[in-house]
Amino acid sequence: MSQQTGRIIKTYNGYYYVLGDNGTWYTCKVRGRLKQKRFVIAAGDRVELDAAGEEGMITEILPRRNLLQRPLVANVDWLAAVFACADPDPSFLLIDKLLALAEAANIPAVLVLNKADLAPEGFFDRLEAVYAPLGYPVLQVEAKNGKGLDALLEKISDSTVVFGGPSGVGKSTLLNHLNPELSLKTGQVSAKIGRGRHTTRFAELLPFQGGYIVDTPGFGNIDLAELVMDDAAQGFRELKARAGQCRFSGCTHTHEPDCAVKAAVAAGEIAASRYESYCMIRQELAAQKKRGQKS
Ligand SMILES: Nc1nc2c(ncn2[C@@H]2O[C@H](COP(=O)(O)OP(=O)(O)OP(=O)(O)O)[C@@H](O)[C@H]2O)c(=O)[nH]1
Ligand SMILES: [Mg+2]
Ligand SMILES: [Zn+2]
Ligand 2 centroid – CA 6 distance (Å):
26
Question: From atom 27 of ligand 1, which residue's Cα is the shortest distance away?
Answer: 188
List pLDDT tens digits, range 10-37: 988 889 999 999 999 999 999 877 766 7
Q: Assess whether 187 and 122 both reside in one domain.
A: yes
Residue range(s) defining the domain that contains residue 16? 2-61
Q: Of 64, 84, 82, nearest to 74 (Cα)?
A: 64
- 3 state SS of 47: strand
Q: Assess whether 46 and 83 both reside in one domain.
A: no
List the single range of 19-28, 139-148, 187-196, 280-289 with lowest mean pLDDT: 187-196
Q: Which atom of ligand 1 is nearest to the CA of 175?
A: 15
Q: Which atom of ligand 1 is nearest to the CA of 196?
A: 24
Q: What confidence tier does 218 reach under pLDDT thresholds 50, 70, 90?
A: confident
CB atoms within 10 A of CB 35: 11
**190 vs 168: CA distance, rounded Å:** 9
Pocket of ligand 1 (CB under 6 A): 114-115, 117-118, 142-144, 167-173, 186-189, 196-200, 217-218
Question: From atom 13 of ligand 1, which residue's Cα is the shortest distance away?
Answer: 170
Q: Does some domain include residue 194?
A: yes
Q: What is the pTM of this model?
A: 0.89
Q: Does some domain include residue 249?
A: yes
pLDDT of residue 12: 82
Q: Which of 215, 247, 272 is the last residue of a domain?
A: 215
Cα angle at 225 between 43 and 106, to 5 degrees? 55
Residue 283 has pLDDT above 80, yes or no: yes
Domain CATH code at residue 45: 2.40.50.140
**151 vs 156: CA distance, rounded Å:** 9
**6 vs 24: CA distance, rounded Å:** 9
Residue 291 has pLDDT above 70, yes or no: yes
pLDDT of residue 11: 87
Q: Assess whether 21 and 74 both reside in one domain.
A: no
Ligand 1 centroid – CA 230 distance (Å):
34
Mean pLDDT, the chain, whole residue set: 89
Q: Assess whether 142 and 168 both reside in one domain.
A: yes
Q: Which residue has the higher pLDDT, 106 or 227?
A: 106
Question: From atom 8 of ligand 1, which residue's Cα is the shortest distance away?
Answer: 170
How distant, in Å, are the alpha carbons of 119, 127, 263 from that of 122? 8, 9, 28
- Which ligand places an atom closest to the C-alpha of 119? 1
**274 vs 104: CA distance, rounded Å:** 15
Q: Does some domain include residue 258?
A: yes
Residue 273 has pLDDT above 80, yes or no: yes
Residue 227 has pLDDT above 70, yes or no: no
List pLDDT tens digits, range 62-121: 999 999 987 889 999 999 999 999 999 999 999 999 999 999 999 999 999 999 999 999
Residue 178 has pLDDT above 90, yes or no: no
Q: What string of H, E and C letters represents the secondary structure of 79-119?
A: EEEEEECCCCCCCHHHHHHHHHHHHHCCCCEEEEEECHHHC
Q: Does some domain include residue 227?
A: no
Q: Assess whether 265 and 135 both reside in one domain.
A: no
Q: Assess whether 18 and 155 both reside in one domain.
A: no
Q: Assess whether 101 and 200 both reside in one domain.
A: yes
Whether the Cβ atoms of residue 209 and residue 161 lie closer than 8 Å to each other? no
Ligand 1 centroid – CA 2 distance (Å):
43
Q: Assess whether 126 and 203 both reside in one domain.
A: yes
- Which ligand places an atom closest to the C-alpha of 282? 3
Q: Assess whether 57 and 74 both reside in one domain.
A: no
Q: Does some domain include residue 197?
A: yes
Number of domains making up the chain: 3
Q: Does some domain include residue 152?
A: yes
Q: Assess whether 238 and 281 both reside in one domain.
A: yes
Domain CATH code at residue 278: 1.10.40.50
Q: Does some domain include residue 220?
A: no
Q: Assess whether 20 and 122 both reside in one domain.
A: no
List pLDDT tens digits, range 254-267: 999 999 999 999 99
Q: Does some domain include residue 224?
A: no
**255 vs 293: CA distance, rounded Å:** 24
> Quick one: DSSP state of residue 267?
T
Phi, psi for residue 47 in degrees, rounded to 5: -135, 160
Whether the Cβ atoms of residue 104 and residue 237 lie closer than 8 Å to each other? no
Q: Assess whether 72 and 210 both reside in one domain.
A: yes
pLDDT of residue 224: 64
